[in-house]
């Protein structure tokens, strides 16, 4: 039991990029949400860049892939936090999961751009 909470605490400390002013749970939740929004903005810009270099067939497939990925990301993160239902830490963990999955997708799209630009 202690090990589970220790790992959770360690995960929170290592996976978040809180600014030094975030003291309360609400502030940490907001900071994590802001970090996700930044990653999401970067993802959207990158997605537009990728779409510009694709042919029509690739564009159609990319639209489907992106919609499917968004559904996966959101449902995966909801699954990740279900055990914390009602807890004040739940929004923090949800935002962190969204940010991490979004950063993974950013890497995927960067690879597509790099491959197409060769």
Q: What is the pLDDT of residue 118?
A: 54
Is 87 within the bounds of a domain? yes
Domain of residue 85 covers 26-116
Give yes or no for a contact between 15 and 96, defined as CB atoms under 8 angstroms apart.
yes
Is 2 within the bounds of a domain? no
What is the spatial distance between Cα 40 and Cα 42, in angstroms, rounded to a whole number?
A: 5
Give yes or no for a contact between 101 and 79, defined as CB atoms under 8 angstroms apart.
no
DSSP code, position 24:
S
The CATH number for 45's domain is: 1.20.1270.180
Place of tokens 């990301």: 73
pLDDT, one tens digit per residue, over 77-110 is: 999 999 999 999 999 999 999 999 999 999 999 9
DSSP code, position 83:
G
Predicted confidence band of residue 74 (pLDDT cuts 50, 70, 90): very high
pLDDT, one tens digit per residue, over 26-65 is: 999 999 999 999 999 999 999 999 999 999 999 999 999 9
Is 3 within the bounds of a domain? no
């Amino acid at each position: 039991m202690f090990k589970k909470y220790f790992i959770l605490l360690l995960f929170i400390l290592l996976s978040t990029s809180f600014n030094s002013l975030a003291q309360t749970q609400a502030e940490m939740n907001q900071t994590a949400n802001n970090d996700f929004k930044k990653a999401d903005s970067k993802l959207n810009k990158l997605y537009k860049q990728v779409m510009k270099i694709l042919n029509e067939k690739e564009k159609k497939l990319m639209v489907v892939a992106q919609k499917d990925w968004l559904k996966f990301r959101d449902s995966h993160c909801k699954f990740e936090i279900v055990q914390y239902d009602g807890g004040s830490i739940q929004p923090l963990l949800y935002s962190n999961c969204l940010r991490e999955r979004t950063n993974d997708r950013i890497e995927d799209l960067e690879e597509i751009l790099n491959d197409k630009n060769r």
